[in-house]
Amino acid sequence: MTGTVHTSALRGRAEIDLGALRGNVRALRARLAPGAGLMAVVKSDAYGHGALPCARAALDAGALWLGTATPHEALALRDAGIRAPILCWLWTPGDPWREGIEAGLDMSVSAMWALREVTRAAREAGRTARIQLKADTGLGRNGCQPADWPELVAAARAAEVAGTVRVTGLWSHFACADEPGHPSTAAQLDVFHELVAYAEKAGIEPEVRHIANSPAALTLPESHFDLVRTGIALYGISPSCELGSSAEFGLRPVMTLTASVALVKRVPEGHGVSYGHRYRTPAETTLGLIPLGYADGVPRHASGKGPVLVGGEVRRVAGRIAMDQFVVDLGTGPDADAVREGAPAVLFGPGDRGEPTAADWAEAADTIAYEIVTRIGPRVPRVYVDGADGQEEGVGGDGRGAGR
Ligand SMILES: *Cc1c(COP(=O)(O)O)cnc(C)c1O
């Protein structure tokens, strides 16, 4: 904790309710098919919530694995003392395979180049690398194509026999699990069953087989296998409103983004507001200045639309969102007159105290709630609280997270 963090906490803060996160882990675990465990996906600084505090809270609540995209994210968790199994899946040539082996990471391999790099690093380290083979069952992103699977499986099995690797997992990722009934989901499951059977027949004995993300964890028990990899649901956000709301799944949003009103002033009718004058006051009114902008992750696309709870009412952003600030028209009612500098303005939160949600901002910015929380920038301190007792647990500046 530093003085600078406290000063900026007055401007804006993202409160992270670790009690809510633990509750979400428990709610998700209650939905798992028998025999399946939960991987807490904490990539990209836990979707903007702070990787380390969220990883610890998720493990406390019974998550068995952690998942990250890059090896650097996984190594940072190990450096901080996390001992749980960690899978990291987005590798690029030249990445730190040897460090990953020495840190005991599970490392995803989607192609022959990666198998070559990891076996070379294992020989150099004199240790067996834990790898998980990733299949592209239809997403068309990372993963090994079914046509290339026999070559990758044979080479991985040979490396196992040579002692350089141990294949700890077989896995894949869905494309459209957030669209109920989308035919690609069942097709991907069929392909996954086939590719797993092929690898097992070739002698691979994985500890875990997994394909489910949050939407599949919530709605498709036949996809749970040994593990589900949940990201967005951990943070209390529904993967899509088509599937159901957070509340319907028993999830509670973890992040509340609040700012302090920086300036309140009277302006005459017809006054242009913010760059480009995309808003003009329809009458004499009171404007409130909110000191967060697109540099903080408030999406400029939500200019004129983003909702903010201030002075007891949800108001819309007036005019353009700028880099560091935006304006709301408070009107002239008694609620508006009561708003003073320093008053709280809640951009989003769980939604049960009248405030908007990240899903509302996603709609205003024509994006998904994943992007809204993940892009909250490093200039916004994360303040860790525990909803169970409302106690502050610590402040993490620069998006790194701290406390606990
Ligand atoms: C991000 C990610 C997840 C988590 O997805 P959610 O929809 O947030 O649950 C799971 N697996 C992989 C490979 C991912 O990249």
State mean pLDDT over 35-49: 98
Domain range summary for the chain, segments of one domain joined by + = 18-235, 255-396
Q: What is the pLDDT of residues 140-184, one digit of tens each?
A: 999 999 999 999 999 999 999 999 999 999 999 999 999 999 999
**Residue 213 C-alpha to ligand 1 middle, in angstroms?**
5
Residue 155: left (phi > 0), alpha (psi -120 to 50), or beta?
alpha
Read off φ and ψ for residue 214, nearest 5 degrees. -55, -50
From CA 132, how far away is CA 149, in angstroms rounded? 13
Residues 6+ apart with CB under 8 A from 69: 43, 44, 88, 89, 90
Using one digit for the tens of pLDDT, what is the confidence trace for 262-310?
999 999 999 999 999 999 999 999 999 999 999 999 999 999 999 999 9
Indicate which residues carry an active-site annotation. Answer: 43, 275
- Using most ligand atoms within 8 A of CB, pick from 110, 176, 229, 242 the residue to mutate for ligand 1: 229
Task: Look at residue 151 and give its three-state secondary structure.
Answer: helix
pLDDT value of residue 307: 98
- Say how far apart CA 63 and CA 233 lie, in whole Å: 13
pLDDT tens across 8-38, in order? 568 999 999 999 999 999 999 999 999 999 9
Asked, colleague to colleague, whether 18-235 and 255-396 share their fold, the answer is no
Model confidence over 188-218: pLDDT tens digits? 999 999 999 999 999 999 999 999 999 999 9
Computed over its alpha carbons, how large is the radius of gyration of the chain? Answer: 24
Ligand 1 centroid distance, CA of 185 (Å): 15
Span 225-271, pLDDT tens digits:
999 999 999 999 999 989 999 999 999 999 999 999 999 999 999 99
Q: Is residue 328 within 8 Å of residue 288, measured between CB atoms?
A: yes
Q: What is the pLDDT of residue 392?
A: 63
**Per-chain mean pLDDT for the chain:** 94
- Once rounded to an integer, what is the mean pLDDT over residues 38-49? 98
For the stretch 299-346, pLDDT in tens is: 999 999 999 999 999 999 999 999 999 999 999 988 888 899 999 999
d(CA 324, CA 93): 37
Mean pLDDT (whole number) for 102-127 = 98
Which pLDDT score is estimated for 109? 98
Per the CB < 8 A criterion, the answer to whether 97 and 121 are in contact is yes
Q: Is the pLDDT of residue 393 over 70?
A: no
User: What's the pLDDT at 49?
Assistant: 98
What six digits make up the tokens of 222?
Answer: 């036949």
Burial class (CB in 10 A: 0-12, 13-18, 19+), 222: exposed
For the segment 341-361, the average pLDDT, to the nearest whole number, is 97
Checking if the pLDDT of 398 tops 80, the result is no
Q: Which atom of ligand 1 is nearest to the CA of 47?
A: 8
Distances 97 to 71, 75, 134, 155, 193 between C-alpha atoms, Å: 8, 11, 17, 18, 29
Residue nearest to atom 13 of ligand 1 (CA): 173
pLDDT at 404: 33
18-235: CATH topology is TIM Barrel (3.20.20)
Tell me, what's the pLDDT at 400?
A: 39
More confident of the two residues 391 and 112 = 112
Nearest CA residue ID for atom 4, ligand 1: 231
Decide which of 393 and 7 is more confident.
393
- Give the CATH fold of the 255-396 domain: Lyase, Ornithine Decarboxylase; Chain A, domain 1 (2.40.37)
